[in-house]
Each structure stands twice: as structure tokens, then as C-alpha cells.
Amino acid sequence: MTWISSLTFPFQLPLLATAEAQYAPIVLTGVLLSLVIIYIASKVGAEISRMLDFPPVLGELIAGVVVGISALHLVVFPESGATASDSVVMWILQAIDDLTPEAVTSIFDSQSEIVSLLAELGVIILLFEIGLESDVKELQKVGWQATIVACVGVTVPFGAGTAGLMWFFHVPAIPAIFAGAALTATSIGITSKVLSELGQLKSAEGQIIVGAAVIDDIIGIVVLAVVASLAKTGEVDIGNVIYLIVSATVFLVGAILLGNLFNKAFVKATEILKTRGNLIVPAMIFAFFMAFIGNAIHLEAILGSFAAGLVLDETDERNELDEQIMPIADILVPIFFVTVGAKADIGVLNPINPENRAGLIIASFLIVVAILGKVVTGWSVFGQPGINRLAIGIGMIPRGEVGLVFAAIGTASGVLDKPLQVAIIVMVILTTFLAPPLLRVVFGEPVSLEGEPEGVMEKVDAVK
Amino acid sequence: MTWISSLTFPFQLPLLATAEAQYAPIVLTGVLLSLVIIYIASKVGAEISRMLDFPPVLGELIAGVVVGISALHLVVFPESGATASDSVVMWILQAIDDLTPEAVTSIFDSQSEIVSLLAELGVIILLFEIGLESDVKELQKVGWQATIVACVGVTVPFGAGTAGLMWFFHVPAIPAIFAGAALTATSIGITSKVLSELGQLKSAEGQIIVGAAVIDDIIGIVVLAVVASLAKTGEVDIGNVIYLIVSATVFLVGAILLGNLFNKAFVKATEILKTRGNLIVPAMIFAFFMAFIGNAIHLEAILGSFAAGLVLDETDERNELDEQIMPIADILVPIFFVTVGAKADIGVLNPINPENRAGLIIASFLIVVAILGKVVTGWSVFGQPGINRLAIGIGMIPRGEVGLVFAAIGTASGVLDKPLQVAIIVMVILTTFLAPPLLRVVFGEPVSLEGEPEGVMEKVDAVK
């Protein structure tokens, strides 16, 4: 109930045991306001981007930067080093209710945590939708190509990055390996969203990119485990590495092999159920359960929901499910992209700040390696004459949030000094923001999407 | 990223400043598992309820009781007095990752807070949907009847409850007034959902009930402010009471009068926007903004989203919006009903516990007053010959979470002793659970919903 804490009682509420519960109505006010800001930013960004003939998701990312830590401070998070006093939303809440400093901190933390979790649910739903739109047979057909693209896309930037840092910049081995590792992972969320917007998700190029990005994500987890244990103890924890490789393989392959069983159970469930939500609720149960498993075995939630989408893609209910998942994705996915932008502090791009200069020079090198190291992967594709190799390479460029995790862990462990840390962040921001317009250029005009105002049905058709 | 805390680093992550952010991957695991449990419970409950010819929402509430604090402890909340060690989800998380006791508490609090907030978003979306399905002109037609029903439904239970407690049970004046006040408010969420399920939302009875429940909610806020200040200081804070009455009236009437303006802006926006979500995102911006305003001026978020739904009901885009809001409601609304059940501790109904006995005797009295005091409201309707008066009265019965807030605040202020507190909680639980089957009986067979398996389209038609 919203009025509990709005009335000024001098006593604690015993039924509301935690500070969190006590401030719940004000946290709700803050979350609602944040969502309104995020939605407005996402729509304004997407529309401007579309008018300029860029993919809408690029606009959402940039709109996130505008409302985030780099500029307007409307949507900020503790992870970016922001405190409650940096948040405009918190100022507004403070103006509405006269809050104590502890209350402000507690509410800011809660609200940030909730918006971040909604963003996580957004990317889980996005990957479920991408899974639904992907064709498991088509993916299997390009499976070997995708695996090779992923392996090349990990090895080349890793090797070139580490060697270059040691050779040109005289960085010691362990930080160089760490920074090289940060160049490996591909952000599946950003690439797949752009592919979907360009109507290229089901093309051979699109399927290779998505497949390779999934494999890349798994390799990224393994690489992180390796370099983190290297940074910590100077040795590699072989047991953990083997565990991660085996569990990831068993999970994905198992999910797809058992797909037929899941399929039949799902179709059966939707037939038996007669109350509202008979299709979407079982689908969400499956997607969230797989995401839970993915997270629980220390892989990623998004791998689980992607596998769930792939499996349900094979059912007859697919088209109806596509239509019902769309509005859910429409309200959750933008939260993810806007918060990715909002958390990126582009202040590190400012060369006037002397702290950033050394980092920017290293960053220029890392960006070149990051782009070329992925672009070459296109030429590792075999047996697909006439395929757009440049498009595949460019599709693998965005590092997204994965690279930022490397920077965070490297900094925390004391392995990365300030310039290297800035360099990695700059590399992540630029690869993330460059990929969408580049993809747009190499793929040419979007398939069947252009010109007309889009209703739901047109969009469904366009995606199919 | 899910793997940050799954790798055991000996150091803190400085980029993840708060404990909340540090445990984020595990919190996500817990939220996903909780959602899977909630969805399974809601579907099992709804289907069984439907087979037994009860409204599905009753099944969701009871399923919530089964998975909640009263029985299986799968979904529990700190508000019900549960700690992390009472939560089965936390046991599972503990088994997956070896967590410290502080980590367990922090994760449990975060996870509970997030699920509660998703439930709040669920009831906000529910009332938005109810607003969309309500007809503002029809509501205006029954406006006076609804106002009288609401006033009678506040005055009779309040007067009879307070007088009876003082007369029969020798309760002192202030606690008697507090308990009487707890009998006044109607839970709009439960009633409107049942009406919708019975296909009765657009009937004259349905519109009077919804209108009266909205007015009741506002009166409830004012009554709470009055009795709370009475309990605190022995006097009534007239200024606050006037503020609440004026702001509620201005807000609701203002929203409806300005509806035409909002309408045109909304239609214009959906025409200009060409990217995905061009209809649903502006609708959510409007709904969440109104909910934000409702919360910010110390009314309720659900009043705001209800007003937003009423306004957008008048647009041409209504049917498309109805269809798109449905899957969103299908995955958010069950979280609300299951958590309402999960938070209700039906242990207070156990007469073997001597602590409960005095409360149960008072409870029997309060329940009779709670039911009869609302049933009589049906006979206050004028100028509607042939209307189902009993249905209107019964529609006003469920007290839902509103009554629990009275119990919480009364207990916190020391006004209510243990028996009165138990009596109020029992009264709230029974009125909430009795109303759906009773409504089903007085309305007879559901309109056009019976027999056939429901696809989305049939459901949309049934509601219209």
C-alpha cells in the first residue's frame, strides 16, 4: 500500500520488518518515474536513429547515455560510482517526501537494484525472442562455421591484443593477458537486436553471427575464469575450466536434444489449460526455468532463455507465441538497452582530462585490434560461397557489457592500472556503438521493413 | 553478468559498490526461481478453480497460500515475519552457492523486495486493463449510485463494527474505532478481476461496483489518515484530511476531464512513432506516469493507472491496445494474486492455539458485520429497476490488502491488542476468499465464457 510511509508515524511498523519494506511505497514511486524516463528516452532515441537511417537500438543506447551518468543523471546506478545525491530521480523523491539521508541511500540502492533486475529480465526476454526467431535446423547447419568463427574471433583479438600491449606498450604479461581477454567476448544482445531490426536474423549471415555469439559467450566465461584465477594465484584452476566447458556444452546440447520432449509437454500444457495466459505463462515458466538453470550452474541466464526460445520455435503455437511475446519484449527490452547506455561513463573519452590520455592512446590500439580481430573472422567461413563475409565479421564487433565485466574484475583484482582500465572501457563503448551503424551499411537496405508505418502484424511478418 | 560472484574472488569489486550489486547474479537466480514457482502455482490454482466452477483468481489466491508462509514456504516475505531461513528458495540458493549468513539475508531481502515490486507492477497493470475495459460514460452514468454505495459501505460497517466492539466486547473507544475503520475499504483488485472473469465488468452492476470500489479506496485513505492521527495524538489532523480529499478529487476528475487532451496526444504519438512498440510503449508511459503521480501525491499508484486506462479507453487504438496489454497482464497480474495469498498467514485461523481463540470470537463478529455491512449497500442503489442488488453488495465484500494495512498500522501504534489484531486479519482473509465464489453464485453462469477452450481472440471478445 502506498500510503504507509507517506503518513508520518513516529513508530516503526513491526509487520514491515526490513528497511526495504518500510520504504517500499517510495521505492515504487522512484521505479515508476525511472521507467517513464527510460521509455521516453528509448522512444525518442529509437525514432531519431530510425530517421537518420540507423538501427533503432543504437538510438536507445545513445539515449541511455544522455539520461545516464555521462550527462543528465536522470537514471544512474551505484555500479557507475554514482551515489543517491547524483540522481535526479532521488532529488524529485526527496522533494516529494522529506527523507532522511539513510532513507535516501536505502531507496536509491533498492530502486537501482530493481531497475537493473528489470533490465536483466529484458535481456532474458530478448534472447528468448531471438531464440524463437532462430531456426534450430538452420543453426545446426551453420554450427561448424559458427564454431570456427567464434574460435577465430576469440584467438585473434586475444593474441594480437596481448602481444601488442607487451610489445608496443611494455605492459607486463598478466595485465596484458587480462586486457587481451577483454577483447574476446561478443555482446549477443546488441548484435542480435540489430540483426532483427534489419530483417537479417534468419539469413545465413545472421544465423552464423548468432551461433558464433552464443559460443563466444561461453568461451568468454571460460576465458574469464582462466584469467581471473591467473590474476589471483598466478596459476590456472584447470578443474573450474573443465567444469565450465563441460557444463556449458551439456546444457546447450542437452536442451536442444531434449527439445522434442519439452516441445510436446509444452503443446500438451497449452491444450489442457483453459484460463487466461494458457500460452504465454507456460512459455515464461520454461524460459525463466532455463534461465534459472543457466544462472545456477554459473553460466548465463540469457543462454538458458535462448535455448528455451530455440526449443519452442519448433512448435505449432510459435506464431501465436511470437505475437504475445512481442509486447512483453517491447516494454522490457528497452530497459536493458537504455541502462547499458546509462551505465557507460563516456567521461573517459575526454582527452582534456590528463588521467584519460594514456588510456586513450592504448584505447586506440585496442579498438583497432578489437575491430580487425573480429572482422577477419568472416574470412574463416567455409563452404558458403557468396556469403557476406564482411557482415559476419562486423556482426561480431560489439563487446557490450561483457567487456565491462572484465574491466571491473581486472580493476578489483589490482591487475589493471588506470590507463588500461580506461582503455578497455573506451574500447567497449566504441565497439558497442560502432557496430550497429556499420552493420546497417554492410547489409544495405533493411529487408521489407522500410517506408511503411509498422503495425504489429507487419512487424510479425517482417520478422518471419 | 551472472558469473561475477560465482567465481570466488578474495577481493571486493569497487565498480560494484553496494552489497546489493555484488549479489545481483544470485538475486537474479532467486527471482527467476520465485517467478517459476509463482507461475506454476497460479496456473495450477486457476485451472483447478475453473474446473470446480469458481473464478480462476480464487485459485490463484489459494495457490499463493499453499506456496506461501502458511504451508510450503516456497515464496515468503519479510513482511509476514519470515526470515531467510524460512525460505525454501533461499535453501536452494544456499545449496548452489556457498553463501555467508549476511549474504543470505541481503539476497533474501533483495529478492523479496523485487518480487513484491513486480506484484505492485502487476496490480498497476491490472487496474490499467480494468480502466481500459471500463466505459467512462457508463461510469459517469452510475457515478451517483456508486458514490452512495461507497458511502453506505463505509458508514454501516464502520458504525456497526465500532459500536458492536464497544457494546459486546467492551473494547475501549480508540481501538474500537480503529477496528471499525479496518472494515471500510474494498479491495478493488480482487473484485474487478472476478467481475472481468465472469464477463460482468461492463454490466450496470459491474460498473457500479468498480466505481464504488474506486471511491471506497479514496475514502479508505482518508479514514486511515483520520484514525492514525487519532491513535497518535488523540486528535484529528484536519489539514491532512482536507488535503487528501481535495487531491484525490482533483486527481481523478482532472484526469478524466483532461482525458480528451491526453487521448489526442496519445493517438498522435502512436501515429508518429514508426519503431517497434509504437503503441504499447506510449501507453505504458502514460499508465506509469499516472501511477507515479498517484503515488507521489500520497494517493495510490493503482488509482493513477486506472484513470490512465479509462482515458485511453476512448481512443480508436483501444482494441489493438487491449490485445497487446493482455500478455503483459498475463505475466504480471498472477504475481500480485499469488503473493497476496503467500503473505496471508492462515495460522491465525487455528483454534488449537489459545492465543488465537479470543481473536477468533471477535473475528466471527467482525466477519458478520463486514459481510452484512457491505451487502446492504446494494439496497441503496436508486433509479435502476431490476438491478441485481445482492450482487452489488457482495461485490463490495473483499477487504484484501487494504484491511491488512490497517492491522499493521494499528499494531505498530500499539492501539490494537493481539486478539483484535488476529480478528482483523481473519476478517480480511475470509472476506477476500469468500467474495469470489459468492459473486460467482449471485451472477449465475459466466457470460459467453463457458465450455469452449479460450484462445486470445475469444477472450478479447468475451471481455468486450
Q: Residue A21 has what pLDDT?
A: 58
Cβ atoms of A454 and B274 closer than 8 Å: yes
All three cell numbers of A460, joined, read 510479425
The answer to whether residues B399 and B258 belong to one domain is yes
How near does any CA of chain A get to the CA of B386, in Å? 31
The answer to whether residues B370 and B448 belong to one domain is yes
Contact B408 A13 (CB under 8 A): yes
pLDDT band, very low/low/confident/very high, at A91 (cuts 50, 70, 90): very high
Segment A319-343 mean pLDDT: 92
The answer to whether residues A304 and A415 belong to one domain is yes
Contact B280 A331 (CB under 8 A): yes
Burial class (CB in 10 A: 0-12, 13-18, 19+), B161: buried
Measure Cα distances from A222 to B40, B77, B215 in Å.
34, 36, 58
A239-253, A312-326, B229-243, B267-281: least confident range: B229-243
Task: Kindly report the number of other CB atoms within 10 A of residue A242's CB atom.
Answer: 11
Q: Which of residues B117, B136, B171 is at a domain's end? A: B117
Contact A328 B325 (CB under 8 A): no
Q: Residue A221 has what pLDDT?
A: 74
The answer to whether residues B107 and B136 belong to one domain is no
The answer to whether residues B227 and B96 belong to one domain is no
Cβ of residue A460 closer than 8 Å to a chain B Cβ = no
Contact A79 B114 (CB under 8 A): no
Domain range for B341 is 126-463
pLDDT in tens, B295-352: 898 778 888 898 899 889 888 888 899 999 999 999 999 998 899 888 878 887 788 8
One-character DSSP codes across A281-311: HHHHHHHHHHHHHHHHTTS-HHHHHHHHHHH
Give ∠ CA B378-B380-B386 in degrees, rounded to 5. 60
Is B384 within a domain? yes
pLDDT band, very low/low/confident/very high, at B449 (cuts 50, 70, 90): very low
pLDDT, chain A, mean: 83
Cβ atoms of A42 and B281 closer than 8 Å: yes
Nearest CA in chain B to A281: B331
Q: Which of residues B86, B117, B148 is at a domain's end? A: B117
Is A2 within a domain? no
Is B12 within a domain? no
Cβ atoms of A321 and A312 closer than 8 Å: yes
More confident: B327 or A247:
B327
One-character DSSP codes across A344-392: --GGGG-TTSHHHHHHHHHHHHHHHHHHHHHHGGGGG--S-TT--HHHH
Cβ of residue B14 closer than 8 Å to a chain A Cβ = yes
pLDDT band, very low/low/confident/very high, at A345 (cuts 50, 70, 90): confident
pLDDT > 80? residue B46: yes
Q: With a threshold of 0.90, tell me whether the complex ipTM lies above it.
A: no
> Of the candidates A50, A120, A402, which has its C-beta nearest B274's C-beta?
A50
pLDDT band, very low/low/confident/very high, at B400 (cuts 50, 70, 90): low
pLDDT band, very low/low/confident/very high, at B457 (cuts 50, 70, 90): very low
How near does any CA of chain B get to the CA of A450, in Å? 10
All three cell numbers of B294, joined, read 498517484
Tally DSSP H helices, then E strands, for chain A.
Answer: 20, 0
pLDDT band, very low/low/confident/very high, at B224 (cuts 50, 70, 90): confident
All three cell numbers of B6, joined, read 560465482
pLDDT > 90? residue A119: yes
Segment A44-73 mean pLDDT: 90
pLDDT > 70? residue A462: no
Separation of alpha carbons A413 and B45, rounded Å: 49
Q: Which of residues A86, A117, A148 is at a domain's end? A: A117
pLDDT band, very low/low/confident/very high, at B13 (cuts 50, 70, 90): very low
A251: domain CATH number is 1.20.1530.20
Contact B289 A12 (CB under 8 A): no
pTM of the model: 0.86
Phi, psi at residue B264, to the nearest 5°?
A: -65, -40
pLDDT band, very low/low/confident/very high, at A446 (cuts 50, 70, 90): low
Contact A3 B224 (CB under 8 A): yes
pLDDT in tens, A275-306: 999 999 999 999 999 999 988 987 788 888 98
pLDDT > 70? residue B9: no
Nearest CA in chain B to A407: B15
Is A82 within a domain? yes
Separation of alpha carbons B373 and B393, rounded Å: 9
pLDDT band, very low/low/confident/very high, at B445 (cuts 50, 70, 90): low
Q: Residue B229 has what pLDDT?
A: 73
Cβ of residue B13 closer than 8 Å to a chain A Cβ = yes
Give ∠ CA B42-A36-A99 in degrees, rounded to 5. 95
The answer to whether residues A191 and A311 belong to one domain is yes
How near does any CA of chain B get to the CA of A242, in Å? 14
Is A5 within a domain? no
Instruction: Kindly state the DSSP code that residue A73 receives in the 8-state scheme.
Output: -
All three cell numbers of B420, joined, read 483484535
Segment A416-445 mean pLDDT: 84
Q: Residue B461 has what pLDDT?
A: 38
Nearest CA-CA partner of B288 in B263, B309, B317, B264: B309
pLDDT > 90? residue A72: yes
pLDDT > 60? residue B105: yes
Contact B1 A35 (CB under 8 A): no
Chain A residue numbers with beta carbons less than 8 Å from the beta carbon of B300 are: 1-3
The answer to whether residues B156 and B85 belong to one domain is no
pLDDT > 50? residue A94: yes
Residues 411-430 of A with CB under 8 A from B: 411-414
A348-362, A367-381, B14-28: least confident range: B14-28
For CA atoms A104, A108, A110, A114, the dihedral sign is positive
Cβ of residue B105 closer than 8 Å to a chain A Cβ = no
How near does any CA of chain A get to the CA of B383, in Å? 35
pLDDT > 80? residue B19: no
How near does any CA of chain B get to the CA of A319, in Å? 13
Q: Residue A385 has what pLDDT?
A: 82
Is B6 within a domain? no
pLDDT > 90? residue A344: no
Chain B residue numbers with beta carbons less than 8 Å from the beta carbon of A3 are: 221, 224-225, 298-300, 405
Cβ atoms of A79 and B21 closer than 8 Å: yes
pLDDT, chain B, mean: 83
Task: Express as a percent the part of chain B with pLDDT over 90.
Answer: 36
pLDDT > 90? residue B139: no
More confident: B203 or A314:
B203
Cβ of residue B43 closer than 8 Å to a chain A Cβ = yes
Measure Cα distances from B409 to B181, B233, B422 in Å.
12, 14, 13
The answer to whether residues A396 and A445 belong to one domain is yes
pLDDT band, very low/low/confident/very high, at B57 (cuts 50, 70, 90): confident
pLDDT band, very low/low/confident/very high, at B257 (cuts 50, 70, 90): confident
The answer to whether residues A141 and A96 belong to one domain is no
The answer to whether residues B390 and B457 belong to one domain is yes
The answer to whether residues B102 and B201 belong to one domain is no
Contact B298 A6 (CB under 8 A): yes
Chain B residue numbers with beta carbons less than 8 Å from the beta carbon of A409 are: 4, 9, 13
Residues 219-238 of B with CB under 8 A from A: 221, 224-225, 228, 232
Separation of alpha carbons A104 and A165, rounded Å: 44
One-letter amino acid for residue A174 of the chain: I
Total structural domains within chain A: 2
Cβ of residue A33 closer than 8 Å to a chain B Cβ = yes
Segment B93-102 mean pLDDT: 90
> Of the candidates B273, B412, B456, which has its C-beta nearest A9's C-beta?
B412
Q: Residue A447 has what pLDDT?
A: 55
Segment A443-463 mean pLDDT: 46
Segment A64-70 mean pLDDT: 92
**Alpha helices, H only, B134-237:** 136-141, 143-169, 173-182, 188-197, 204-233
The answer to whether residues A132 and A110 belong to one domain is no
One-character DSSP codes across B401-422: HHHHHHHHHHHHTT-S-HHHHH
Residues 237-296 of A with CB under 8 A from B: 240, 271-282, 284-285, 288-289, 291-292, 294-296
Q: Which residues have C-beta within 8 Å of that of residue B435, sequence separation ≥ 6?
A: B190, B191, B194, B394, B395, B397, B398
How near does any CA of chain B get to the CA of A60, in Å? 11
Is A12 within a domain? no
Is A179 within a domain? yes
Nearest CA-CA partner of B412 in B247, B270, B231, B189: B231
pLDDT in tens, B350-395: 888 887 888 888 999 999 999 999 999 989 888 888 889 999 999 9
